[in-house]
Amino acid sequence: MNRISPSVLSADYGHLAEALELLTASGADMVHIDVMDGHFVPNITIGAPVVRCLRKSTALPFDVHLMIDEPLRYVADFAQAGADRITFHTEAESGVGETIDAILAAGKEAGLAVKPGTDITEVYPYLDRLSMVLVMTVEPGFGGQSFRADMLPKIRALREECVRRGFPELDIQVDGGISAQTIGEAAAAGANVFVSGSALFSSKDMAAEIRRFKTLATAAQM
Ligand code: DX5
Ligand code: ZN
């Protein structure tokens, strides 16, 4: 099932509650929250205390993308703050298996992300415990970058591997440069959860743009 996860990285951080109300009213499927520590990526955003405050503003699932060096250290904080799905990077310092275990033990869904330079086979040993794999289509750290079409073969290979292993429905998320111009190629390659920051938040009609994204994704998969 195709789902749209707008990234509030492109919202006005002074008015995040309003942004969540807009997303709720516009038919977003979840809310993508980018957590950056200034070490794993050269940018700093928000932590669990802010996520906890945002939890009051929407019932939409929180799709928390940890771009931090030590995800294992913060899993409990984000789980308690109201994250529903916690995604961390294979390139981080925490052990991958151990971090997945901690997320599942906290009663949350686990996602595993790869940067553009990382081989997709890195996630294969963990597929049976994951709800989602995030294939980054830009270098993580900033919104507004261009979609990297050279990541499409990774998405295709991952979808094929999921089918081979008996998890044909595993969520494959793409994050970075997703717009009406690029969502179709990502969907055709096998992605079904689409993060979008700048394209959605710069649109005049969020609800119409979310509907358009879904229509384009579904059409590309036929
Ligand atoms: C980038 C973040 C993305 C970002 C995407 O490191 O992980 O979630 O918000 O922004 P756009 O859609 O503008 O590329
Ligand atoms: Zn993200």
CATH number of 3-220: 3.20.20.70
pLDDT, tens digit, for every residue of 62-94?
A: 999 999 999 999 999 999 999 999 999 999 999
How far, in Å, from the CA of 35 to the mean position of ligand 2? 8
Per the annotation, the verdict on 128 as an active-site residue is no
What pLDDT was estimated at residue 64? 99
Cβ-contact 64, 88 below 8 angstroms: no
Q: Which CA distances in Å does 55 have to 21, 79, 137, 197?
A: 11, 11, 28, 19
- Residue of 31, 35, 33 lying closest to 43 (CA atoms): 35
Q: Which CA distances in Å does 201 have to 12, 26, 100, 205, 210?
A: 9, 12, 31, 9, 10
The stretch 124-141 carries a mean pLDDT of 98
Task: Please state the pTM of the whole predicted model.
Answer: 0.98
Confidence of residue 188 (pLDDT cuts 50, 70, 90): very high
Confidence of residue 36 (pLDDT cuts 50, 70, 90): very high
Give the count of beta carbons closer than 10 Å to the beta carbon of residue 186. 29
Closest atom of ligand 1 to CA, residue 176: 14
CA–CA gap between residue 131 and residue 188 (Å, rounded): 20
Domain boundaries, the chain: 3-220
Give the environment of ion ligand 2: residues with CB less than 5 A: 34, 65, 175
